[in-house]
Amino acid sequence: MSYVVGVDAGGTSTRALAVAPDGVVLGTGRSGGANPNSNPPEKAAGHVETAIREALGALEPASANACVIGMAGTAKLTDPQVAALFSAVWERLGLTGVRIVTDPEVAFASATPAPDGTVLVAGTGSIAARIRGRRMVSTAGGYGWLLGDEGSAFWLGREAVRRALDELSGTGRLGELTRSVLAAADVDAADRSLAWRRLITVVNGEAPVRLARFAPLVSAAEDAAPILDRAARLLAELAFAARDPGESTPLVLVGSVLAGPVGARVREKLDGLDVRSSTDGVLGAVRLAGIEAFGEDFATVPGDLPRVP
């Protein structure tokens, strides 16, 4: 039986699907995070192997016509030792011709059959990518927490803590967002000077990316609109930076930040464009694998979702 395999290897979870030429799902698999930047590479490779092995089930690996893996942290594969770990997985599974692509590429393909366009990703980090022929050809942003990630969950969390520190430094009333940040950090606001020092200590005692945990507080606080507005402006600027003036191709939004109030603001700034949302990267991986194996007609088969028998 001919089939393709699509894999969405994210930072916290990995999903795999084996899909027949007509779109029927033949097998599914799930495992832990497989971003080799945020997970030990050995574990990341193992999680990909587990998910694919579950999806294959009793299917003959040699019958797989294509396998596309959308992976966060693909830059790590430039390390020969890390690349060797994943190559060993394909050998153990008996798969050949495995193609690893970036997560923006599978996100774009999951939302539209069009070959060209733009994808804006805003989760823990942020990046915009120009897609041509379903390949990422250039990017805007994506520099990571130290150098960028504007408008991301990390950025929102950092701005929330900054707001709290500014208010603690003053004499005015503490706002809703500041009170929420202090509660989440388990910092008592009774002594403002002590709370200021304690909040700095707590935040600096964690990995920087942990600032993203404060992002939901920004979305929920009534006094956080200025931060949400700035995030939306920065993300819209990223999206436009990855597009040509007057371009009419689809623009795909993906990521937790774009699913909330920031996303609504971003959509307002993108009014008039063909804006779509990606909700499941594994479907994009399947679409890319199917087009590779069965031709361009698979771009619209089976539609938005695979058919489960």
The pLDDT of residue 217 is 97
Q: Report angle CA 28, 33, 37 to the nearest 5 degrees.
A: 140
What does pTM read for this prediction? 0.83
Domain ranges of the chain: 3-113+279-300, 115-249
Annotation: CATH topology of 115-249:
Nucleotidyltransferase; domain 5 (3.30.420)
Number of C-beta neighbours around residue 257 at 10 A? 33
Distance from C-alpha of 11 to C-alpha of 26, rounded to nearest angstrom: 25
Q: What is the pLDDT of residues 145-192, one digit of tens each?
A: 888 889 999 999 999 999 999 999 988 899 999 999 999 999 999 899
Homologous superfamily assigned to 3-113+279-300: ATPase, nucleotide binding domain (3.30.420.40)
* Residue bearing tokens 């404060």: 214
Distance from C-alpha of 52 to C-alpha of 64, rounded to nearest angstrom: 12
Identical fold, 3-113+279-300 and 115-249: yes
Which residues of the chain register pLDDT less than 70?
301-309
Distance from C-alpha of 13 to C-alpha of 11, rounded to nearest angstrom: 6
The pLDDT of residue 275 is 96
Beta strands 64-71; 3-9: pairing state:
parallel
The pLDDT of residue 303 is 57
Indicate the average pLDDT of the chain: 91
Percent of the chain scored above 70 by pLDDT? 97
The pLDDT of residue 304 is 54
